[in-house]
């Protein structure tokens, strides 16, 4: 059967700054998924999209084409509304771990499809896999069972969900086209819409440790994704939140699980607790669950912790098993006394990655115990010789490059002055804000 288009025509159209038609978009995404369009041709089209952009109709159609490359999930058998959250990722961003069981404890169901880390941002699945026995891959039937029994599930997206995205994501990664907002937005939203949730909260990170370091670009991405979700009938909102300083006091897989458990126990670092409660309230409101207990209460009364234990057990994990620890550790100490004025999230993230907490390419394994503990954050006083960071790894030879990444990561002021920080919530965008 003859193909409807030739890839070269579509590449040339976008190269010359023309709009792609719906039929062109449908064909090129489908033909690439089928293997008719070659990687080098799709690479050229992705670069043309990065350079020349897409309008909202093109982005919406591209997203639909990716959804239509696979299955759509449905949670109609559940008796409670479904809501999910997606974060664009950052350093120490372990929010999904306490958030999913917390929202379930307050009366909504959370089908949370998560990913693995690449580069300096950690992946939720990598963190949870540090719990002995826990498994990320569940069938659709197993997901439904966990949601019915517990109310929250965190697992990997199956191969049937937006297969076009899986292929495109790998290609974007090796062709320097990851940053294109139309491609980021369609990648995230195709999976989230296909996942079948009725409401979605997006946590778009900005600041040095985020994928979108510029707040204006982060807002543009947030608006694009809210538009896509709203058009698809999913109640979608976005918070643009700070990632100029690491979240919490840990970066690394088992270290972040430990910190998440502290939050579920009613403790934990104040920034992690604040953002978890804030996102939980947004999720419950978007799902229309309003006559139930407040998330702050559910963290204190143990009900969120009960859901966490049930969720981990339901996926084969042992919530009582000791978490893995790294074989080697070393400390970096303050060179002078004063007030911590700034801390660069990106440098901390790169250091944790070099210690073995992250991967350089897809498919690599990560160390469960590797990462960084942060002993003092901006605004806090420190004395000369006191520990700033503890570095953890299984391979002592990794310390040198990890320490190198931390050069200039922290500044200490003598006069108590602290560098200007982004507010925790930089912007909030919902469908009413889309003019």
Per-residue pLDDT tens digits for 24-35: 999 999 999 999
Quote the tokens at residue 93: 């961003």
Based on the residue annotation, tell me whether 187 is a catalytic residue of this protein: yes
- CA–CA separation, 96 and 205 (whole Å): 14
pLDDT of 120: 67
Per-residue pLDDT tens digits for 52-109: 999 999 999 999 999 999 999 999 999 999 999 999 989 999 999 999 999 999 999 9
- CA–CA separation, 99 and 103 (whole Å): 6
Do 140 and 111 form a contact (C-beta atoms < 8 A)? no
Of 105 and 157, the one with more pLDDT: 105
pLDDT of 276: 98
- CA–CA separation, 130 and 257 (whole Å): 8
Active-site hit among 14, 61, 85, 86: 86
pLDDT confidence band for 115 (50 / 70 / 90): confident
Q: Report helix, strand and coil shares of the chain as percent, to nearest 5.
A: 45, 15, 40
- CA–CA separation, 11 and 45 (whole Å): 5
- CA–CA separation, 321 and 41 (whole Å): 49
List every span in the chain annotated with CATH 3.40.1030.10.
83-321
Helix orientation angle between 163-174 and 39-52, rounded to the nearest 10 degrees? 80
The CATH code for residues 328-413 is 3.90.1170.30
Architecture label for domain 83-321: 3-Layer(aba) Sandwich (3.40)
Do 194 and 188 form a contact (C-beta atoms < 8 A)? no
Based on the residue annotation, tell me whether 432 is a catalytic residue of this protein: no
Residue 111 pairs in a beta bridge with 153
- Average pLDDT value for the chain: 94
Active-site hit among 187, 190, 198, 260: 187
- CA–CA separation, 313 and 333 (whole Å): 39
Based on the residue annotation, tell me whether 172 is a catalytic residue of this protein: yes
| CA 164 distance to own-chain centroid | 20
Per-residue pLDDT tens digits for 210-242: 989 999 999 999 999 999 999 999 999 999 999
pLDDT of 65: 97
Q: What is the mean pLDDT of residues 164-180?
A: 88
| CA 18 distance to own-chain centroid | 33
Active-site hit among 85, 120, 127, 191: 191
List every span in the chain annotated with CATH 1.20.970.10.
7-53
pLDDT of 291: 80
Classify 7-53 by CATH class: mainly alpha
Of 359 and 330, the one with more pLDDT: 330
- Which residues lie below 8 Å from residue 136, measured CB to CB, with a gap of 6+? 125, 128, 129, 155, 156, 315
Kindly tell me if the per-residue pLDDT of 281 is higher than 90: yes
Q: What is the mean pLDDT of residues 309-323?
A: 97
- CA–CA separation, 203 and 427 (whole Å): 10
Name the helix (H) or strand (E) containing 282.
helix 270-287
Active-site hit among 30, 93, 165, 271: 165
Identify each DSSP E strand in 163-242 by its residue range. Answer: 199-206, 235-242
Kindly tell me if the per-residue pLDDT of 158 is higher than 90: no
pLDDT of 432: 84
pLDDT of 2: 84
pLDDT of 114: 87
State what percent of residues in the chain have pLDDT above 70: 98
Chain length of the chain: 435
**How many CB atoms are located within 10 Å of the residue 404 CB?**
12
Q: What is the mean pLDDT of residues 163-182?
A: 89
Do 71 and 194 form a contact (C-beta atoms < 8 A)? yes
pLDDT of 350: 94
Per-residue pLDDT tens digits for 360-416: 766 778 999 999 999 999 999 999 999 999 999 999 999 999 999 999 999 999 998
Active-site hit among 172, 231, 347, 375: 172
List every span in the chain annotated with CATH 3.90.1170.30.
328-413
Per-residue pLDDT tens digits for 118-141: 666 678 999 999 999 999 999 999
| CA 300 distance to own-chain centroid | 26
Of 128 and 359, the one with more pLDDT: 128
CA triplet 186, 17, 194: central angle to 5 degrees? 15
Of 167 and 117, the one with more pLDDT: 167
pLDDT of 344: 96
Do 294 and 134 form a contact (C-beta atoms < 8 A)? no
Q: What is the mean pLDDT of residues 192-210?
A: 95
Kindly tell me if the per-residue pLDDT of 435 is higher than 70: no
């Amino acid at each position: 059967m003859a193909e409807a288009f030739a890839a070269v025509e579509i590449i040339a159209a976008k190269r010359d700054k023309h709009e792609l038609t719906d039929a062109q978009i449908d064909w090129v995404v489908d033909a690439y998924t089928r293997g008719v369009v070659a990687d080098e041709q799709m690479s050229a089209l992705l670069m043309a999209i990065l350079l020349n952009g897409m309008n909202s109709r093109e982005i919406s159609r591209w997203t639909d084409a990716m959804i239509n490359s696979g299955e759509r999930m449905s949670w109609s058998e559940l008796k409670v509304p479904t809501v999910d959250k997606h974060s664009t990722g950052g350093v120490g961003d372990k929010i999904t771990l306490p958030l999913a069981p917390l929202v379930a404890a307050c009366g909504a169901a959370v089908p949370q499809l998560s990913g693995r880390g690449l580069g300096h941002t950690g992946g939720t699945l990598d963190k949870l896999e540090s719990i002995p026995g826990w498994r990320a891959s569940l069938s659709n039937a197993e997901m439904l069972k966990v949601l019915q029994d517990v109310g929250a599930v965190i697992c990997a997206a199956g191969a049937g969900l937006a297969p076009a995205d899986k292929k495109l994501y790998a290609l974007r990664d090796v062709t320097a086209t990851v940053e294109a907002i139309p491609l980021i937005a369609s990648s995230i939203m195709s999976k989230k819409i296909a996942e079948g949730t009725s409401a979605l909260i997006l946590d778009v990170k900005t600041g040095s440790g985020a994928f979108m370091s510029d707040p204006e670009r982060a807002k543009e991405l947030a608006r694009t994704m809210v538009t896509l979700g709203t058009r698809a009938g999913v109640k979608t909102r976005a918070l643009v939140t700070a990632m100029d300083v690491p979240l919490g006091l840990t970066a690394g897989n088992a270290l972040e699980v430990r910190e998440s458990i502290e939050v579920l126990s009613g403790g934990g670092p104040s920034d992690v607790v604040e953002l978890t409660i804030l996102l939980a309230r947004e999720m419950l409101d978007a799902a229309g669950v309003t006559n139930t207990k407040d998330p702050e209460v559910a963290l204190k009364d143990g009900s969120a912790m009960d859901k966490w234990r049930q969720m981990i057990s339901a996926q084969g994990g042992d919530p009582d098993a000791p978490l893995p620890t790294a074989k080697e550790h070393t400390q970096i100490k303050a060179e002078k006394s004063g007030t911590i004025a700034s801390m660069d999230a990106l440098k901390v993230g790169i250091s944790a990655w070099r210690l073995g907490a992250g991967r350089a390419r897809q498919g690599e394994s990560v160390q469960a115990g590797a990462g960084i503990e942060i002993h003092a954050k901006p605004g806090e006083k420190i004395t000369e010789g006191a520990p700033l960071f503890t570095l953890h790894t299984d391979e002592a030879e990794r310390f040198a490059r990890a320490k190198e990444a931390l050069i200039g990561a922290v500044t200490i002021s003598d006069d108590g002055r602290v560098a200007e920080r982004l507010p925790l919530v930089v912007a909030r965008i919902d469908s009413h804000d889309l003019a």
